[in-house]
Copies of this chain bind each other. A is one copy, B any other.
Amino acid sequence: MVQFVGANTGTWKVRELKTVAGKPLTAVSHLQVLENNSLVTTSGLWTLRGFSSNIRYATKAEKENLLAMQQGLGRPEATCAALIPIRKSDAWWNLAQDERRAIFEEQSHHTTIGMQYLPAIARKLYHCRDIGEPFDFLTWFEDAPSHANAFEDLVGRLRETAEWKYVEREIDIRLMQI
């Protein structure tokens, strides 16, 4: 379990907090990331919680490609980060597994697109729909400042996909390590 606390202090400085779709999130100057059920010691303006889970869409071949190419979080050069909370519509969640898979990959090439930015852009997905949170997913990205353009390209391409028609709320929070 991880908690992202939006506050006036924290180890990540907010460079920009932009509402892409739906209801905005209160502006904050900093973000604190608390892992492993640490107690929240920061009096944040908001807290978003999520958990990592098993793979939901990737096939064996896609999973093996991802594992071979991706790098972990916390690389010294990766001083830029982004937290992108999204919520999908009921229409998405009412689809069966094969329908969601087809939109996610065969139509939208979600994993294929993400893989084109590896290992530069590291990514970790947290789920939160099932625990009564306001978002369904919290995706955390880390990269070096030199990959800023690549990151814009990645999120821009994903937002043009068929999958993104089901995104009804999205906040894009860009961060810089202090």
Binding stretch for chain B, among A21-29, A40-48, A75-83, A127-135: A127-135
B59 touches A98 (CB 8 A): yes
Binding stretch for chain B, among A50-58, A147-155, A168-176: A50-58
Interface residue from B58, B94, B96 paired with A58 (Cβ < 8 Å): B96
A96 touches B55 (CB 8 A): yes
- A 102-144 binary contact with B (CB < 8 Å = 1; else 0): 0000000000000000000000000101111000000000000
B60 touches A99 (CB 8 A): yes
Interface residue from B97, B127, B131 paired with A56 (Cβ < 8 Å): B97
A96 touches B132 (CB 8 A): no
- Shortest Cβ gap from A162 to chain B (Å): 16
CA distance A51 to B96 in the complex (A): 18
User: Please, how many residues of chain A have a CB less than 8 angstroms from a CB on the other chain?
Assistant: 25
CA distance A2 to B160 in the complex (A): 38
CA distance A130 to B96 in the complex (A): 21
A1 touches B132 (CB 8 A): yes
- Shortest Cβ gap from A124 to chain B (Å): 15
- Shortest Cβ gap from A66 to chain B (Å): 10
- Shortest Cβ gap from A130 to chain B (Å): 5
Q: Is A165 an interface residue (CB 8 A)?
A: no
CB<8 Å pairs between A and B, sample of 15: A53-B130, A54-B93, A54-B129, A55-B97, A56-B56, A57-B97, A58-B97, A59-B98, A59-B99, A60-B98, A63-B96, A127-B130, A130-B130, A130-B131, A131-B131
User: What residues make up the interface of A, taking CB atoms closer than 8 Å to B?
Assistant: 1, 51, 53-60, 62-63, 93-99, 101, 127, 129-132
